[in-house]
Each structure stands twice: as structure tokens, then as C-alpha cells.
Amino acid sequence: MRILVICLILLLAILHQDWWWWEAKEPLVFGFMPIGLAWHAGISLAAGLVGLVAVMFCWPDHLDNEEEEEAGAETEKEEAT
């Protein structure tokens, strides 16, 4: 899954270079947004979605677990004393 997320980020970076829309003013997406702007608004939305995939499937859960384990160990120590 981690590789998929890395590939998605790279894909976003490639799609960001939309040289194919460089001179285009039209079509106007939703009737008012030039295609070059709409494309990049879409890139921002896609970045949020890739972020969602990353936090759902690749989140380093051990960062919080370590914390809980340490807190647990401390409580045990206190109880023992």
C-alpha cells in the first residue's frame, strides 16, 4: 500500500505539469472556471484524497502505540511502588 501511495503522489506531481492546458482558456468548467484553474483545483482535491488513502492505510500507528505503552509502563511502576 505504501508503494501505491508513493506512486499516487508521483502521479499527482506529473499531472501538476499540465503543459497541455498551457494556452487553453476554454472550456469554462461549471461555466466560469478556466480549464487550467479547474484542473489545479482538481489536483488539490486529489491531494486531499491521496492524503486520506495514506492516513487510512499507511499511518505509522506505532507512534501512538509507543506512547500508550510508555504511559502504561509508568502507571504499572507507580502502582508497584
3 interacts with another protein by CB under 8 A = no
Q: Which of 2, 17, 78, 80 binds another protein (CB under 8 A)?
A: 17
Alpha-carbon distances of 46 from 13, 15, 34, 54, 70, rounded to whole Å = 11, 11, 18, 12, 37
79 interacts with another protein by CB under 8 A = no
Minimum distance from CB of 52 to another protein (Å)? 5
4 interacts with another protein by CB under 8 A = no
What is the chain's Cα-based Rg?
22
What distance in Å separates the CA atoms of residue 63 and residue 58, rounded to the nearest whole number? 12
Alpha-carbon distances of 54 from 16, 28, 33, 71, 75, rounded to whole Å = 19, 32, 30, 27, 33
Q: Which of 1, 4, 7, 41 binds another protein (CB under 8 A)?
A: 41
Instruction: Kindly list the residues in this chain that would bind another protein in the complex (CB under 8 A).
Output: 9, 12-13, 16-19, 21-26, 28, 30-34, 36-37, 39-41, 43-45, 47-48, 50-52, 54-55, 59-64, 66-67, 70
